[in-house]
């Protein structure tokens, strides 16, 4: 990593059966879930490389476990730096990734997951703009978490609460308030944790999904995995995502 306007960090795991997208099994098998995650990861890395280049950010892949760095480095676009995640849990690993990025002299650090295929340039630009006047910017998910978090300084303990729950956003905002941080909550996005969540991706077709996650869509189409999504009708494919902006 080199000093720049900022760093865009993608938090990721290697696509190994039984270790990724476990909440999609069943109905998917562990092998099917890992294959789907591999497509998500490749799409997110490609789109993140484009976004980082356009926004003068250094793209970095933060890998868990750290022993898989070489494995995932082979999947990355050339612009990416690769580092191992450090810490006993996800919250600690996020905090350490922020510290590592800031240690390069970066002015801003944005962290994103590897399973939010519709997180795009607009979300990143909005977070960067918010960080001009705020200490923390978050892009909520529909499940109570967030797809993107941005900071301009390390905040010890900001993520020291249970992760992967429906209270993650609320718990992070509460921790930020206790520390007197100025927080901006940006337009929402979504991640794909359960098979039912694929309906949101189906709805996004025709509104950018084809360019942001072509591998994922092709994979779902080729294997007809849409059939596993409960109550997915043709009308869902054209419905717009809800969105808005508020500041807390």
- Tell me the pLDDT tens digit for each residue of 184-207: 999 999 999 999 999 999 999 878
Strand partners, 146: 140
Q: Is the pLDDT of residue 240 over 50?
A: no
Q: How many residues does the chain have?
A: 248
* Average pLDDT across the chain, whole number: 90
pLDDT score of 248: 39
Is 184 domain-assigned? yes
Is 1 domain-assigned? no
Q: Is the pLDDT of residue 49 over 60?
A: yes
In this structure, what token pair is assigned to residue 68?
Answer: 């898989």
Spatial separation of the C-alpha atoms in residues 11 and 202, rounded to whole Å? 24
In this structure, what token pair is assigned to residue 46?
Answer: 């490609």
Q: What angle do CA 120, 126, 129 make, to 5 degrees?
A: 140
Spatial separation of the C-alpha atoms in residues 172 and 174, rounded to whole Å? 5
Mean pLDDT of 137-159: 94
Mean pLDDT of 35-59: 97
Q: Is the pLDDT of residue 246 over 80?
A: no
Is 204 domain-assigned? yes
**What's the number of domains the chain is made of?**
1
Is 26 domain-assigned? yes
Is 123 domain-assigned? yes
pLDDT band at 238 (very low <50, low <70, confident <90, very high): very low
Spatial separation of the C-alpha atoms in residues 120 and 47, rounded to whole Å? 8
Residue given tokens 């509104």 in the structure block:
207
Q: What angle do CA 144, 180, 113 make, to 5 degrees?
A: 35
Residues 6+ apart with CB under 8 A from 80: 45, 49, 59, 60, 61, 73
- 61: CATH: 3.90.550.10
Is 34 domain-assigned? yes
Look up the domain containing 41 and give its range. 6-247
Mean pLDDT of 217-246: 69
Spatial separation of the C-alpha atoms in residues 23 and 231, rounded to whole Å? 19
Is 13 domain-assigned? yes
């Amino acid at each position: 990593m080199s000093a720049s306007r900022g760093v865009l960090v993608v938090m990721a795991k290697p696509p190994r059966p039984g270790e990724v997208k476990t909440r999609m099994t069943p109905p998917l098998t562990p092998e099917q879930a890992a294959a789907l995650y591999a497509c998500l990861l490749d799409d997110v890395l490609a789109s993140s490389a484009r976004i980082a280049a356009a926004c003068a950010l250094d793209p970095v892949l933060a890998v868990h476990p750290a022993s898989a760095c070489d494995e995932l480095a082979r999947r990355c676009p050339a612009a990416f730096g690769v580092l191992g995640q450090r810490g006993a849990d996800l919250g600690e690993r996020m905090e350490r990734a922020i510290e590592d990025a800031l240690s390069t002299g970066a002015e801003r650090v944005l962290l994103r997951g590897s399973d939010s295929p519709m997180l795009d340039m607009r979300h990143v630009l909005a977070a960067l703009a918010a960080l001009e006047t705020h200490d923390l910017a978050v892009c909520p998910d529909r499940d109570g978490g967030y797809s993107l978090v941005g900071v301009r300084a390390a905040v010890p303990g900001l993520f020291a609460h249970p992760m992967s729950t429906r209270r993650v956003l609320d718990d992070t905002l509460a921790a930020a308030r206790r520390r007197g941080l100025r927080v901006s909550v940006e337009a929402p996005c979504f991640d794909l944790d359960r098979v039912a969540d694929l309906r949101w991706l189906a709805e996004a077709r025709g509104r950018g999904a084809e360019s942001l996650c072509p591998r994922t869509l092709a994979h779902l189409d080729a294997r007809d995995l849409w059939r596993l999504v409960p109550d997915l009708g043709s009308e869902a494919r054209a419905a717009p995502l809800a969105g808005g902006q508020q500041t807390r």
